[in-house]
Structure 1
């Protein structure tokens, strides 16, 4: 009798477990997964106010759930309110006069006599330099392959070389992003979102290692973005440049999973564009999605010279002691505030015309990025150090840049939405739908 009861109990438990699996699979087919359904339902019931729509879409994995979400999201009132939003007033139109006081010679935190030799005398002695370090640091053309030449495998409207003044006819800031092959799809979505945030915003794509097989897809997507620009009568330009890793020391290698080259290639790309444009340069990681309006982020950059949202945890946890020692010993910071929060390296805006930020943040940041002993010391990795983000955090707090890297002054930019599969396509469609709604056009999906 006891054995029979035991078997009955076991059978009931097994049937219960099987029932749960059936329910789970059914729910997953409706909205991607349990988390997606809960998030989707809570947002729908609260008037789409409790989370970003792109966060919802990243959890939805089929067409019917996506269509239902879009129908709930795009109410008449929402469309009208989004169309009323104005972009921030242009401050740096074509041919304006930039701040003439900006120079590393005016920075008390820049390393003296930096990059005057064929090697970096502030760095480890066993580093090999494919070209003289003095040239590498000062000659932007050495950073990119065939810098000013047309790219035969991309459309003719894609510009190369130095950013031209006419690229700022309707927008006085520039967005830069970059990727290697594994992040191309999400980077395309980010570039589409640049059009959403400002139809006249020019952007630069830095190729950090695309494969030959990627260029047909990239060319097709750039043609699509160009068609949107044309439909919107946009003044925006699209620029492309391919990073010349072969001219840099081996430690810059992006494929090194331990340090990813210290993300120094990102810092170098940002700095090159600051020197070229002498305006606001916005770095946005591939995988980010820019909002319909970036006024808050840009206003912070205009007012305080820079903006980066918080990323969680502290300088004490994520800035390795060797980097802290280098910065302190070489007098590159006013003070290291170990209890302060970390900045987010995925989204950074710098204003070239702000003396405090250029002198106290950008110049030492770039010099550190070219120096492994500073940005990626030996015995550091992503497990105990945050490379570019680490140095940025120390310098931003040392320079007392307001509204950045602290909670309560966050951003509407969706950071690191590294979607996969169907959700990437749905997210792309959502961005295009948002462009149609904001600008009253009918771009084919």
Structure 2
């Protein structure tokens, strides 16, 4: 048996301590990447914000895009206020470009938005040109299927081509922490150009079998894969434009994004396809919302009563049209 003196024991103790510390740091980072450790936020495993990471050739450091029609007016206006309040506390070197797409705002709401934009609460209001895309995307003609959410993919594609770099898609009901904007470059570096929080359920529950048939895939491989949450998507398009391109290619084909027999009861359209694509790209959506600093549907509870009224008015209009016919 080898006998060790006091100095040797102390040396081994120090070496063991540093090895354990290094392993623990690596384990924490890997756990956060895969979402296994729910007690650690992403901000504990990344470097502090660095102003040099925010390049700005046109005065904007990254792009945030959302879209809404009049039935989400409440969410949209609350979201604009939320974003405006966040910007008040961001460092001066961070200046997001905020683009809102009009999916069917009425004239009154459009006028109000233009007034809000005048006070620099957001950057640009755009009309989404449904005529450029497949007919099944059209929200007015496909209200029940919600246009299979193809328009969302179309918007992401348009913006990614026009403003390459850091891109955030957000549903109009999603809330963000200040930290996620301050640390966006480091977060996207850690996740190699794409991140989305984990959504409820798995691909087995929310991906229609027709998707696997379309891609000539064995669906059993994806049974336990966690869904991405398409209400908050973060891209560095310089690294992951190919993912957006593949998602867009699928969204143009109804058989791909919304196979026959699928509906919102058994399929999650853009979310399902995105999860399929990132899984095949050896990525995962395993971080929960709180640890990433987002809250999807965070505004919805404020708008429940207004949404009920809007839906009632919409149904009344539809009935009147039927009567007039």
| TM-score, structure 1 normalization | 0.51
Gaps of 5+ in 1: 1-85, 96-165, 229-236, 425-445
Distance 1:371 1:316 in 2: 22
Asked if the contact 1:194–1:201 (Cα under 8 Å) also holds between the matched residues in 2, the reply is no
Distance 2:178 2:305 in 1: 20
Q: Shift of residue 277 of structure 1?
A: 1.4
Asked if residue 293 in structure 1 is aligned to residue 175 in structure 2, the reply is no
Corresponding position of 1:313: 201
Q: Distance in 2 between matches of 1:251 and 1:302?
A: 36
Q: Indicate whether 1:401 and 2:278 are aligned.
A: no
Q: Unmatched 5+ residue regions in structure 2?
A: 1-47, 307-325
Q: CA deviation at 1:407?
A: 4.5
TM-score of the superposition, structure 2-length normalised?
0.68
The 1-side partners of 2:258 and 2:236 are apart by: 26
Verify: 1:345 aligned to 2:230, yes or no. Answer: yes
Q: What pairs up with 1:162-311 in 2 under 5 angstroms? A: 166-168=58-60, 171=61, 173-195=62-84, 196-197=86-87, 198=90, 200-224=95-119, 226=120, 238-255=123-140, 256-294=142-180, 295=182, 298-303=185-190, 304-311=192-199
Task: Work out the CA distance in 2 between the residues paired with 1:208 and 1:260.
Answer: 11
Residue 180 of structure 1: how far off its partner (Å): 0.6
1:91 paired with 2:53, answer yes
Cα distance change, pair 346–408 in 1 and its aligned pair in 2 (3 A): closer
| Distance in 2 (alpha carbons) for counterparts of 1:415 and 1:181 | 19
Secondary structure at 2:300 match in 1: coil
1:297 CA drift (Å) = 5.5
Larger Rg: 1
TM-superposed CA distance for 1:312, in Å, is 1.3
* C-alpha distance in 1 between matches for 2:55 and 2:183: 20
Whether contact under 8 Å (1:393, 1:405) holds in the other structure is no
How big is each residue's C-alpha offset from its partner over 1:128-153, in whole Å with a ceiling of 9 and x where there is no partner? xxxxxxxxxxxxxxxxxxxxxxxxxx
Task: Find the residue that maps to 1:328 and give its secondary structure.
Answer: coil
Separation of aligned partners in 1, 2:81 and 2:289: 28
Does the C-alpha gap of structure 1 residues 87 and 419 become closer, same or farther in structure 2, counting only changes over 3 Å?
farther
| Residue 367 of structure 1: how far off its partner (Å) | 0.3
Higher helix proportion, which one? 2
Query: Given that residues 179 and 210 in structure 1 are in contact (C-alpha distance below 8 angstroms), is that contact kept between their aligned partners in structure 2?
Result: yes
Please report how far the alpha carbon of residue 243 of structure 1 lies from its aligned counterpart in structure 2 after TM superposition: 0.7
Distance 1:409 1:93 in 2: 27
**Kindly tell me: are residues 179 and 405 of structure 1, through their superposed partners in 2, closer, same or farther at Cα, counting changes over 3 Å?**
farther
Q: C-alpha deviations, 1:127-179, integer Å up to 9, x for none?
A: xxxxxxxxxxxxxxxxxxxxxxxxxxxxxxxxxxxxxxx242xx2x1100110
Higher percent of residues as strand: 2
Give, in whole Å, the separation in 2 of the partners of 1:212 and 1:308. 34
User: How far apart in 1 are the matches of 2:54 and 2:303?
Assistant: 40
Q: 1:322 aligns with which of 210, 218, 230?
A: 210
Q: How does 1:132-151 map to 2 (within 5 A)?
A: none
Please give the secondary structure, in 2, of the residue aligned with 1:264: helix
Question: Is the contact made by 2:117 and 2:124 (CA closer than 8 Å) also made in structure 1?
Answer: no
Distance in structure 2 (CA, Å) of the matches to 1:221 and 1:387: 32
* Greater relative contact order (Cα < 8 A, sep 6+): 2
Using the TM superposition, give the Cα deviation of residue 254 of structure 1 relative to its aligned residue in structure 2, in angstroms. Answer: 2.0
Cα distance, 1:422 vs structure 2: 10
1:10-21 alignment runs, 5 A limit: none
Q: Evaluate the alpha carbon distance shift between residue 240 and residue 326 of structure 1 in structure 2; reply closer, same or farther with a 3 A threshold.
A: same
Post-superposition shift, 1:89? 3.4
SS in 1 for 2:227: strand
Number of equivalenced pairs = 249
Q: CA RMSD in A?
A: 2.9
